[in-house]
């Protein structure tokens, strides 16, 4: 099987939570070729709830660890693309990472390996089938088009 080309281009846009708090949405661009493979059928959402500042954003210490976690996960799945990180939502008292994966079992094993160097993290997991990438397509509606487009 030919190696899948996974984009490393990202965008970030502001959105509003249900209670009016700011949520920063960061999404990966150009995923059509990955979606077309049909092999990433499961969506896994990983949530870290935190005590936010007055804008419900993470404090500096939490945001620093969250970025280190993001880097460790990207490094892991760049080397072994059993899963693809497609979106990150930060705000309203939580950080959510959204992945699409081929296998929930292998994702769990690789995820734990990627974060083995960290102390216990307050993470919650939700997984479901999403073969049509509905969440990803909805997230992409938040992207703000460049003025040059």
> How many whole angstroms separate alpha carbon 83 and alpha carbon 86?
9
pLDDT for residue 149 is more than 70: no
Taking the C-alpha atoms of residue 37 and residue 31, their distance in angstroms, rounded to an integer, is 10
Hey, how many other C-beta atoms are within 10 angstroms of the C-beta on 82?
A: 19
Q: Give this prediction's pTM.
A: 0.93
- Fold classified for 20-140: Alpha-Beta Plaits (3.30.70)
Residues 1-10 have pLDDT tens digits of 456 789 999 9
- Predicted confidence at residue 1, as pLDDT, reads 47
- Using a 10 angstrom Cβ sphere, with 0-12 exposed, 13-18 middle and 19 or more buried, the burial of residue 25 is buried
84 φ/ψ angles, rounded to the nearest 5 degrees:
-130, 125
**Beta carbons of 131 and 102 less than 8 angstroms apart:** no
Alpha-carbon gap, residue 95 to 89, rounded angstroms: 6
pLDDT in tens, 32-69: 999 999 999 999 999 999 998 988 999 999 999 999 99
């Amino acid at each position: 099987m030919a190696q899948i080309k996974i984009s490393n281009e990202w965008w970030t846009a502001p959105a509003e939570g249900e209670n009016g708090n700011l949520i920063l949405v960061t999404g990966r661009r150009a995923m059509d070729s990955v979606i077309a493979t049909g092999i990433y059928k499961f969506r896994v959402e990983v949530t870290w709830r935190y005590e936010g500042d007055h804008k419900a954003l993470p404090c500096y210490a939490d945001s620093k660890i969250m970025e280190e976690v993001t880097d460790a996960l990207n490094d892991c799945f760049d080397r072994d693309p059993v899963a693809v990180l497609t979106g990150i939502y930060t705000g309203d008292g939580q950080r959510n990472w959204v992945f699409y994966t081929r296998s929930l079992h292998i994702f769990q094993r690789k995820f734990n390996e990627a974060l083995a160097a960290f102390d216990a993290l307050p993470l919650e997991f939700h997984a479901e089938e999403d073969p049509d990438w509905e969440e990803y397509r909805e997230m992409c509606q938040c992207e703000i088009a460049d003025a040059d487009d």
